[in-house]
Structure formats: structure tokens, C-alpha cells
Amino acid sequence: MAIEGIDGCGKTTQANMLVDRLKKEEIEATYVRPIYVLLNLIRLGEVTKNPVSPRRARASNKKSSILQRAVMGLFGYPYAITTYIYLKLTSKDKIIVCDRYFYQFFFDLFGEISEKVIRIFPKSDITFFLDGNLDIFYSRMDNSFINFSIDIYANFSAGILTSFAIRFIQTSHSSLSFTSSIFQYLRCFIYHFIS
């Protein structure tokens, strides 16, 4: 399953809270950030502190970012599909809770045509999109992403994600409240899946 949304909406908090809740219910669950899974394997488990990011490359004013973007564009999709296969093979009998899936990654790599790329990429079993006040989310972002206007994030959330079968969760409630909403839906999904 995946928790999606723009930076600053609380994805990491929710993903971790959900894994804790699932474990309390004796459901085996693991937290992952799919975009960095293979990168961290290559680094022998070292968690990436300054990950390669297509958005950082796009936000950068350096000329070298053009080359970086070209390389990311060429290898981005094969990297994502390899990560997907790896997660499928290593996640038997447990729930993988993805802190962001590949939607934003493809949007950062391919911009306007990312919707076409997303359509051919395997979907997570369930995706929750944390929706709320863009101005608040924008104010929480890492400084390296502020080079993008808020309109880019609005286009991403309104254009790309609303095109797919994704459950929207309003973040205007307390963190615990929307964790409970996600958990209840997920529990129904698991029950339906195993019955």
C-alpha cells in the first residue's frame, strides 16, 4: 500500500504510525521509501541522507543538472520497475507501507507526460492521498524544493493523482484521526482479500 501527497502533508508520519498500528494488531508490516530501496541496497543498507532527486535536479540552476536530468529520465523507469519487482519478491506474507510511491518521481522526471508513464506502471494495491491546505504544506517543505511554485504542486495533486483510483484522506483532522481512517479501510481490504 502507498501513502501519497505533496511534501509537507505528513506522509512519513502517517506511514510510520500505520506500521506501528498494524504491528500492534499482530499484522506483519514494513515501512519503506520505494524510491530509495535499491539505492540503499547498493550502499549496503546505508540510509541515503542526500538522495539523488529529479526534483532537486530540476530545481537547481546548475548546468550540470541538465545531464543529471537526462540520465534520470533514461534510467528512471527501469529503476522503478526493478524496485517494484524487488518489493514484490521480498514482501510475501506482509504489508509493505510505502512512504510515497512512484507518482511524484515520475512527475518530476517526465512532467506533463508523466500521466502516460503512470498508467503503464504497476499500481500499489491501495493508495491513499493525503489532501489538505497547499499553503500549509508548502510552508513545511525542504528549502531545496521551494524553487518550485506552489502551482506545480497544485497541478501534480489535482492533475495526476485525481486521474487514478486513489482514496483521498483530508489532513485537516488530527493525525490520529486520519491514521484511524486509513487503518479501518486497510483492515476491510485485508479481510476482503483473504476471505
Contact 30, 156 (CB under 8 A): no
pLDDT: which is higher, 132 or 181? 181
CATH C-level class of 2-194:
alpha beta
pLDDT 10s digits, 135-163: 655 555 555 444 555 566 566 666 556 55
pLDDT 10s digits, 63-122: 546 676 677 778 889 999 999 999 999 888 889 999 988 887 887 787 777 778 888 899
Statement: the pTM of the whole predicted model exceeds 0.95: no
Q: What percent of the chain has pLDDT over 90?
A: 15
H or E element at residue 167: strand 167-170
Q: For residue 166, what pLDDT is reported?
A: 67
Q: For residue 188, what pLDDT is reported?
A: 78
Contact 87, 97 (CB under 8 A): no
